[in-house]
């Protein structure tokens, strides 16, 4: 295992070392000490490595991730796993605003709560939140899945495209064009798989599904200002 | 909303995803009196950590011990040596009361008889136009200047200050000029102060409204309008909590406010809440930082309760009540 003291060696050295790992690297396990809320830890990784961060991070942790597994033993600041392409990011604590924003693929697991704008403009990422999420989550979400074991804040799924939203608890309010939809067998199967991947012991049958009413897809003159 | 309009609306997305910049704010409210001698040191370190959120100007407000029957005016002058020379004698003569002055770089703290506060302010305004009043109160002292937090902290020897609570700000100017008066914290009334992260959109109309109501506003700064608004509300009978709650309706724009009162400390975020905020609480203190980084060196942070304040919710702690509950905004 490679151990890296971020406080002693600095962010640029850390990210350079992680970026230098090829897909055939033997240095597959990394542990980062003393993150102390620093920004941009383990961003832009593109190798099948496992990175464990021992503590809380600042902005953009594990942003643009490809292939790697990043496991944060703490909470994360804004923009966690933003624009992730593939791989897995696990946050043991809470994640601040816009976690998983614009994510194209991969899996983001948040074991605590996520703040506002979780999964905003997501494009294929799967986000599994053990706790609750804040307002304006999944705004303009295009594809992928957002699973929330707790509650959702105001304006969930505003102007949603084709992402699937599964919420176990209450939803404070739905955003424009977001509606509750029938949970069919195919959705239960997808959700069961997501819950298992996310390490949640919740039952799929306890969730409700939300999605796009598809009423904003075509221009309607009656809606013009 | 139509998808077509939504596409235009995505520009909002960039506003909502603010970069890690545009001002840093910190606050520290001590519950454990044994930490009071270290308040200045802890607060200065928290603020210095936030330097890259805004390098234009910095300031700190600290609630220090006070002598019975006395009050403090913290004043600033660009030509401090000339302006402060015999200022205490002149004020003493004008007030026919005791005045003591302690000069720290471009600032000076004038200690006067508490009941002579208004008279002292009127005298300084009329006779010493170069001397600007930064704060007034029994406990409050405000120090702020253009420059980096580390330089401002050094100029005013903030690390050596003790106190019960304090707030700080490092500024990236967006709405008005980089000047001492545009720096935070703002004094909002006797022993009251405020720091702001964000930008207010309706500050021009609100400034006109407040000026018509007789409120003195010095600069074109949006945060000063926010501070003046709270002062005006409280002058008209609102409590600080009520004033903060009504700010959620009357102020348009993005804001996280951290406020200090004689014995209390409060936080409120606008309903959109895109300006970052992290809080930590232990048996020894309540701390606020724009980012978690600002809090990492506080004692016992590893086991502190850490959370993000909810949008449109007023939080308030006071030395007078043990309660740490927050009140939900209407």
What average pLDDT does this structure show over B137-147? 97
Report CB contact under 8 Å: A116, B311: yes
Helix (H) or strand (E) holding A219: none
User: DSSP states of A29-73 as a string?
Assistant: EEEEE--TT-SSTT-S-BSS-EEEE-S---TTTTTT-BS-EEEES
Q: Which of B20, B296, B306 sits opposite A59 (nearest CB)?
A: B20
Residues 6+ apart with CB under 8 A from A75: A56, A57, A91, A93, A94, A95, A96, A112, B292, B306
Between A17-26, A59-68, B174-183, B305-314, the lowest mean confidence (pLDDT) is in B174-183
pLDDT exceeds 50 at position B325: no
Q: How far is CA B72 from CA A189, B68, B75, in A?
A: 69, 11, 9
| Domains delineated in chain A | 2-223 (2.160.20.60)
Environment class of residue A87 by beta-carbon count within 10 Å: exposed (0-12), middle (13-18) or buried (19+)? buried
Confidence (pLDDT) at B89: 96
Q: Domain map of chain B by residue range?
A: 3-65+147-328, 67-138
Q: Average the pLDDT over B239-252 and give the result.
A: 91
Distance of CA B129 to the CA centre of its chain: 24
Beta strand pairing call for B107-113 and B100-104 = antiparallel
No. of helices (H) and no. of strands (E), chain B: 9, 17
Read off the pTM. Answer: 0.91
Chain A residue closest to B7 (CA)?
A: A140
- Is residue B10's pLDDT more than 70? no
Residues of B in contact with A120 (CB under 8 A): 13, 16-17
CA angle A163, A105, A150 (to 5 degrees): 55
What percentage of chain A has pLDDT greater than the value 90? 93
Cβ-based contacts of B5 with chain A (< 8 Å): 225
pLDDT at B321: 63
Whether the per-residue pLDDT at A188 is higher than 60: the answer is yes
Looking at per-residue confidence, does B38 or B174 come out higher?
Answer: B38
- The stretch A198-202 carries a mean pLDDT of 96
The yes or no reply on domain B3-65+147-328 and CATH 3.60.20.10 is: yes
How far apart are the C-alpha atoms of B164 and B101, rounded to whole Å? 22
Quick one: pLDDT at residue B271?
Answer: 92
> For residue B20, which residues of chain A lie inside 8 Å, CB to CB?
39, 58-59, 78
The residue of A7, A58, A131, A214 whose CB has the most chain B CBs within 10 angstroms, and thus the best one to mutate to test that interface, is A58
Give the number of other Cβ atoms within 10 Å of residue B253's Cβ. Answer: 16
Say which residue, B329 or A184, is predicted with more confidence: A184
Where do runs of H (alpha helix) occur along chain B?
Answer: 3-16, 39-49, 80-84, 87-95, 117-127, 149-155, 203-212, 222-235, 240-250
**B329 has a pLDDT exceeding 70:** no
CB contact under 8 A, B276 and A101: no
Q: What is the pLDDT of residues B273-313, one digit of tens each?
A: 999 999 999 999 999 999 999 999 999 999 999 999 999 99
Report residue B328's pLDDT band, with 50, 70 and 90 as the boundaries.
very low
**How many other C-beta atoms are found inside a 10 Å radius of the C-beta of residue A10?**
13
Q: Average of pLDDT values for A111-123?
A: 98
Report the percentage of chain B scoring pLDDT > 90.
78
Using the beta-carbon criterion (under 8 Å), do A79 and B17 form an inter-chain contact? yes
Q: Which residues of B touch A219 (CB under 8 A)?
A: 2-4
Render pLDDT for A12-31 as a digit per residue (tens, 0 to 9). 999 999 999 988 889 999 99
Q: What are B201-215's pLDDT values in tens digits?
A: 999 999 999 999 998
* Nearest in space to B181 (alpha carbons), one of B228, B213, B231, B214: B228
* B122 exposure class (CB count in 10 Å sphere: 0-12, 13-18, 19+): exposed
Nearest to A107 by CA among A76, A74, A146: A146
> If you average pLDDT over residues B93-122, what whole number do you get?
95
Residue-level pLDDT at B21: 46
Q: Touching check for A98 and chain B: CB below 8 Å? A: yes
Q: Is B23 a catalytic residue?
A: yes
SS3 content of chain A, % helix, strand, coil (to 5): 15, 25, 60
Q: What is the DSSP letter of B326?
A: P
Query: A170 burial class (0-12, 13-18, 19+ CB within 10 angstroms)?
Result: exposed
Average pLDDT along chain B = 89
Looking at residue B12, what is its pLDDT? Answer: 43
Of B280, B284, B278, B270, nearest in space to B309 by CA: B278
B294: chain A residues, CB-CB within 8 Å: 37
Sheet holding B327-328, edge to edge: B186-189, B192-200, B253-260, B264-269, B313-318, B327-328
Q: Give the residue among B65, B77, B61, B97 at the shortest CA–CA distance from B88.
A: B97
Strand partners, A123: A143
Q: What is the 3-state secondary structure (H, E, C) of B68-101?
A: CCEEEEEEECCCHHHHHCCHHHHHHHHHCCCCEE
Can the peptide bond before residue B208 be classed as cis, meaning omega within 30 degrees of 0?
A: no
The mean-pLDDT minimum among A27-36, A82-91, B210-219 falls in B210-219
How do residues B35-90 score in pLDDT, each as one tens digit? 999 999 999 999 999 999 999 999 999 999 988 999 999 999 999 999 999 999 99
CB B133 within 8 A of CB B75: yes
CA gap A188, B263 in Å, rounded: 54
Report how far apart, in Å, the C-alpha atoms of A73 and of each of A55, A88, A95, B293 are.
5, 14, 12, 16
Distance (Å, whole) CA B325 – CA B242: 15
Does residue B330 surpass a pLDDT of 50?
A: no
The β-bridge relationship of strands B24-30 and A208-212 is: unpaired
Choose among B4, B6, B17: nearest Cβ to A98: B17
CB–CB of B291 and A58 under 8 A? yes
What pLDDT score was predicted for residue B9? Answer: 42
Asked whether the beta carbons of residue B292 and residue A56 sit closer than 8 angstroms, the reply is yes
Reduced to 3 states (helix: H, G, I; strand: E, B; else coil), residue B121 is helix
Residues A78-100: what's their mean pLDDT?
A: 98
Query: B143 vs B264, which has greater pLDDT?
Result: B143
- Beta-carbon separation of A216 and B6 below 8 A: yes
DSSP state of A96: -
| pLDDT on residue A66 | 97
Among the CATH numbers 3.30.1490.20, 3.30.70.120, 3.30.413.10, 3.90.1200.10, which is that of B67-138? Answer: 3.30.70.120
pLDDT at B189: 85
Q: Mean pLDDT across the stretch B250-272?
A: 93
Residue A214: the pLDDT is: 94
């Amino acid at each position: 295992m490679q151990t890296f003291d971020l406080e002693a060696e600095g962010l640029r050295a850390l990210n350079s070392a992680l970026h230098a790992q090829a897909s055939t690297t033997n240095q597959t396990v990394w542990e980062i000490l003393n993150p102390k809320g620093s920004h941009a830890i383990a961003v832009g990784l593109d190798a099948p490595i496992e990175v464990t961060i021992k503590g809380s991070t600042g902005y953009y942790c594990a942003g643009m991730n490809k292939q790697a597994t990043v496991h944060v033993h703490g909470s994360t600041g804004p923009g966690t796993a933003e624009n992730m392409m593939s791989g897995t990011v696990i946050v043991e604590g809470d994640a601040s605003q816009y976690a998983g924003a614009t994510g194209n693929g991969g899996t983001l697991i948040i074991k605590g709560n996520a703040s506002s704008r979780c999964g905003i403009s997501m494009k294929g990422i799967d986000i599994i939140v053990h706790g609750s999420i804040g307002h304006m989550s999944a705004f303009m979400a295009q594809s992928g899945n957002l699973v929330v074991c707790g509650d959702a804040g105001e304006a969930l799924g505003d102007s949603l495209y084709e992402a699937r939203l599964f919420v176990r608890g209450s939803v404070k309010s739905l955003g424009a064009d977001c509606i509750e939809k029938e949970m069919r067998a195919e959705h239960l199967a997808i959700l069961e798989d997501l819950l298992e991947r996310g390490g949640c012991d919740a039952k799929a049958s306890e969730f409700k599904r939300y999605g796009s009413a598809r009423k904003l897809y075509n221009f309607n003159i009656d809606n013009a200002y | 909303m139509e998808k077509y309009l939504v596409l235009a609306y995505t520009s909002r997305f960039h506003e909502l995803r603010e970069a890690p910049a545009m001002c840093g704010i910190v606050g520290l409210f001590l519950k454990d009196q044994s930490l009071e001698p270290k308040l200045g040191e802890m607060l200065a370190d928290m603020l210095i950590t936030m330097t890259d959120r805004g390098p234009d100007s910095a300031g700190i407000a600290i609630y220090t011990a006070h002598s019975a029957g006395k009050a403090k005016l913290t004043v600033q002058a660009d030509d401090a040596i000339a302006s402060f020379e015999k200022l205490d004698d002149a004020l003493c003569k004008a007030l026919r009361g005791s005045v003591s002055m302690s000069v720290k770089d471009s600032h000076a703290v004038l200690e006067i008889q508490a009941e002579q506060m208004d008279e002292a302010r009127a005298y300084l305004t009329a006779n010493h136009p170069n001397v600007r009043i930064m704060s007034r109160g029994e406990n409050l002292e405000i120090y702020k200047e253009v420059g980096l937090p580390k330089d401002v902290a050094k100029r005013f020897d903030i690390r050596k200050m003790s106190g019960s609570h304090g707030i700080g700000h490092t500024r990236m100017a967006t709405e008005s000029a980089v000047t001492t008066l545009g720096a935070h914290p703002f004094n909002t009334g006797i022993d009251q102060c405020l720091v702001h992260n964000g930008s207010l959109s309706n500050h021009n109309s609100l400034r006109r409204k407040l000026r018509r109501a007789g409120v003195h506003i010095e600069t074109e700064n949006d945060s000063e309008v926010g501070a003046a608004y709270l002062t005006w509300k409280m002058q008209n009978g609102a409590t600080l909590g009520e004033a903060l709650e009504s700010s959620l309706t009357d102020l348009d724009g993005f804001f996280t406010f951290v406020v200090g009162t004689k014995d209390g400390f409060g936080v409120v975020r606008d309903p959109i809440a895109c300006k970052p905020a992290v809080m930590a609480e232990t048996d020894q203190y309540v701390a606020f930082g724009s980012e978690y980084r600002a809090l990492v060196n506080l004692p016992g942070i590893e086991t502190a309760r850490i959370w993000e304040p909810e949008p449109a919710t007023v939080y308030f702690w006071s030395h007078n009540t043990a309660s740490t509950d927050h009140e939900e905004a209407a």
